Structure 1
Amino acid sequence: MAAVVLAMGAMLILHKREPHKDRPPASSAWLLGPVTKEKPFVNSLGMKFVPVPIQGGPSDGQLVLFSVWDTRVEDYEAYHQEIKTPWMKPDFQQGPTHPAVNVSWTNATLFCQWLTLRELAAHRLTTGWCYRLPSDHEWSCAVGIGEREDAAKLPMEKDRKLTDAFPWGTQWPPPARAGNFAGEELQPVKAAGKYAWIKNPLVGYRDNFVETAPVGSFLANRFGLFDLGGNVVEWCGDFADERRSARVLRGASWHTSERGDLLSSRRYSTQPISIYDSTSFRCVIASSER
């Protein structure tokens, strides 16, 4: 059985495996039952998902399960190998548990659609549920500022409007193990002539990773989510502004050192086909009927 998926002008033909005849479909109770921070839902790729309460926006009060970390190299490699989509690797070394970078919004969205069909066919997902990118407001809820923002406003209208909240709390500079930022570990590399465009590494902060770090290397937040600040910037599903051309990104990365860029309310916008060595994505599981 083949399914055709269209996204941003790209066509993807997915060959969907037939369900196992001797295995009944998973029920919604099986999927959505005892999923907690302590007992996450684990999919067939080993990605872990925990619930995040959503206040406001189209998914207000609905169950949304967030991946505890960004999509890893090993997760995206499975998609890349099956679909044969182009994927340019960064010019630094990454292991299988590092976040997959150089992934556009378009391919992040196609990955979610591929994963939905894969999990449905394997009875790891119930009909009526899907993998997708989080909305900008859902991401705000995950980082702990959702109740302080107007869900009806466009993402770039809210860029850096909250000046006292960071993914780790209110403390500045960031405390130890807050995340993978452009810290003092960059100084020897910059002295050798690399990453000269990173002007001011964080003084007094060292995370020991010059580029990306394995996911889960730093402290999780209260929902059990890692790397909402640092490591990589994350694509969200929304358009960034009223022009409806660019997509919004959230968070900070191994490039980041400026206080304003580390705020929980920081937004970036760029074209959906753009790729960067500091950008990845995080999946959520949610109702497909919103």
Structure 2
Amino acid sequence: MIVRFFPFSLLAPALLLSSGFIPLSGQIPDEKREHDSSLGLHFVSIPGTPALLATHETRVSDWQAFISASGREWSYKPHFEQGPDHPVVGITLEDARAFCTWLTEKERAEGKLNAAQSYRLPGRADWDAAAGLLRTRKPDLTVEEKVADEQVFPWGMAWPPPAGVANLANGEIPGYDDSFPFTAPVGQFKPSAEGLYDLAGNVWEWCWDPEIRAEQVGVLRGGSWAYFRPECLRSDYVYAVPVDMRMPTIGFRCVFEDKQRTATMLAAAEKIKAEIRSQRREEIMGGAVTKDDLAAMKEKLKNAPATAATSSAPLKPAEAGQAFVNALGLTFVPLPGSSILLGSTEVRVQDYEAWLKTKGGTWENKAPFLSLDHPAVGVTWEEATAFCNWLTEQDRASKLISVNASYRLPTDLEWSQAAGLTDETGADPSQRHEKASRHFPWSAEGTFPPPSSSTNLDATRIEGYRDSYSYTAPVTTEVANAKGIQGLGGNASEWCQDPWPGAKSERVIRGGSWLSRDQDQLRTGHRQHAPQDSRNNSIGFRLVLELPAP
């Protein structure tokens, strides 16, 4: 396998956040926070990022717990012996993301995490902060400090490394010996000031920034037991490799994040930066700002309610041909050639639970892996229809939709049109199913498998395809089609309005799910059908908003 080296400094802007303020001196403090996972992974706060980082790399024992609980196929073995407290190796980017997703869903189901809390991989800025790069801790750097950021190692400026700082290429660095020919148990070497172990050496660690969609190339940080070149061990070094690279030098560590706290910190940081900019303008204009004034401002912001800013703009009523957001936050887009608006995503758990709460109902057999932004699966056709009727009444009462408008499930033909299948033949869903062409929601040309991470399928059983979710995924994670519609290829199969021909109590089901793997069954024109009172953890639904014809 060809590995591409990119020996350049990281150029992406780092997070300049803290729990309190960004003082004019530039140093960013942070309150000490800690968290422990159910696997015994310990997380600590780091100045410069709102996330908490695991103090050590993910261990063989942690990975084995994941494999055992998830049933994920795993046969990789390095050419050397490892104990349960060694870092797991042979990990691809998708493997590492799948572990984080599993641990998140496991602990949400156990009540240890709420819907805003999750585990993930570090972003590049998280890693910069963990490594102590000055650009993550000061808003303004001198030329000397910028040069230092490009030259520093996780242990400092010394080369060769001082004894006992890292597990590196034993015997390849003159004057350095770490006593471990391959991986070492985590926590054997001197930690950082915040208590992080093995930021240099032992194993390379995956980083991932979710807003970066092109994922043929992934990012590793930190060096490994096989590395000895100083330029590859510097704190800001970025090692770019294929995302499916599987090597005995590659592992990962996790991050714990509370998104509510992150949002609060972002809002607080923006307020403070705005006030500081205002004060600086006053200074330029001759106004005097004393230390007491600045201290009072910081105290005022510190004691302000810790809530993220939300938009108070009123929702606009639905109009034919125009995108629409309803009171639940569901987005609808026009379906060309019709007067309907189609839900751009599947109905979420949070939407479905809002309905259950108003009617005092319970969710029978709710799957334990569901989070608020996942599709509502395990729902019968009858329940989905009742949800549509309830939402119609709600949005009519609030005048978001007219008295002649209503929510419903899509018809079989509307679903096909939304997925880009417009030339079907056949008088009913059964006949159209029999004549299904080689068209997929992600490819009219019949390309299979889909691009990695473009949808959510049973990735472990599809050769050449990878995604990051062992179960369902948040509804907005899939790549949207040209109409702006997500999730038609996988995640959850979806109920349609139509009865199945010859079986009036059964209803049409369209699209793949997180359990799908057979390419014939994933063709856009493939139909399933099931009794309307049945439920399955792979079946959910999306909405149509039918508006009066103009």
Provide TM-score, normalisation by structure 1. Answer: 0.76
Separation of aligned partners in 2, 1:85 and 1:202: 38
Query: 1:164 Cα deviation (Å)?
Result: 1.4
Residue 263 in 1 paired to residue 539 in 2? no
Match of 1:52 in 2: 335
Partner of 2:424: 149
Alignment of 1:111-260 (within 5 A): 111-145=387-421, 147-150=422-425, 153-159=427-433, 161-169=435-443, 170-184=446-460, 201-260=461-520
Give the residue type in structure 2 aligned to 1:43: N
Unaligned runs of 5+ in 2: 1-314
Q: Which amino acid aligns with 1:49?
A: F
- Give the structure 1 partner of residue 263 of structure 2: none
Equivalence for 1:68 = 344
2:145 — aligned with what? none
Q: State the match for 1:87 in structure 2.
A: 363
Cα contact 2:511–2:524 (8 A) shared by 1: yes
Task: Decide whether aligned partners of structure 1 residues 91 and 222 sit closer, same or farther in structure 2, where only a CA change above 3 A counts.
Answer: same
Structure 1 residue 287: Cα displacement = 3.4
Q: How many Å apart are 1:213 and its aligned residue?
A: 0.2
Q: Which residue of 2 aligns with 1:3?
A: none
Please say which of residues 229-238 and 88-97 is displaced more in the overlay: 88-97
Deviation larger for 134-143 or 203-212: 203-212
Q: Are the counterparts in 2 of residues 160 and 260 from structure 1 also a CA contact under 8 Å?
A: no
Identical aligned residues as a percent: 36
Distance 1:273 1:86, change over 3 A: farther
Deviations 1:224-255 (A, max 9, x none): 00000100000000001133221000000000
Q: Displacement, 1:158?
A: 1.4
The separation in 2 between residues aligned to 1:167 and 1:91, in whole angstroms, is 26
Which 5+ residue runs of structure 1 have no aligned equivalent? 1-25, 54-60, 185-200
Change beyond 3 A, Cα 1:80–1:288: farther
What's the counterpart of residue 324 of structure 2? Answer: 41
In the TM superposition, structure 1's runs of 4+ consecutive aligned residues that sit over 6 Å from their partners are: none
Does residue 100 in structure 1 map to residue 371 in structure 2?
A: no
| Contact persistence 1:115–1:131 (CA under 8 A) | yes
The whole-number CA distance in structure 1 between the counterparts of 2:530 and 2:408 is 19
Which structure carries more relative contact order (alpha carbon 8 Å, separation 6+)? 1
Cα-to-partner distance string for 1:84-132 (whole Å, 9 max, x where unaligned): 2331244432211000111100010000000000000011111211000
CA distance, structure 2, for counterparts of residue 288 and residue 80 of structure 1:
28
Please give the TM-score of this superposition, normalised by the length of structure 2.
0.41
Counterpart CA distance in 1 for 2:361 and 2:429 is: 29
Q: Which residue is 2:51 aligned to? A: none
Q: Is the 8 A contact 2:320 2:341 kept in 1?
A: no
* Distance in 1 between residues matched to 2:416 and 2:487, nearest whole Å: 14
* Cα pair 1:230 1:251 within 8 Å, conserved: yes
Q: Whose radius of gyration is greater, 1 or 2?
A: 2
What one-letter code is carried by the residue in structure 1 that aligns with 2:454? Answer: A
Q: Which piece of structure 1 moves more, 249-258 or 163-172?
A: 163-172
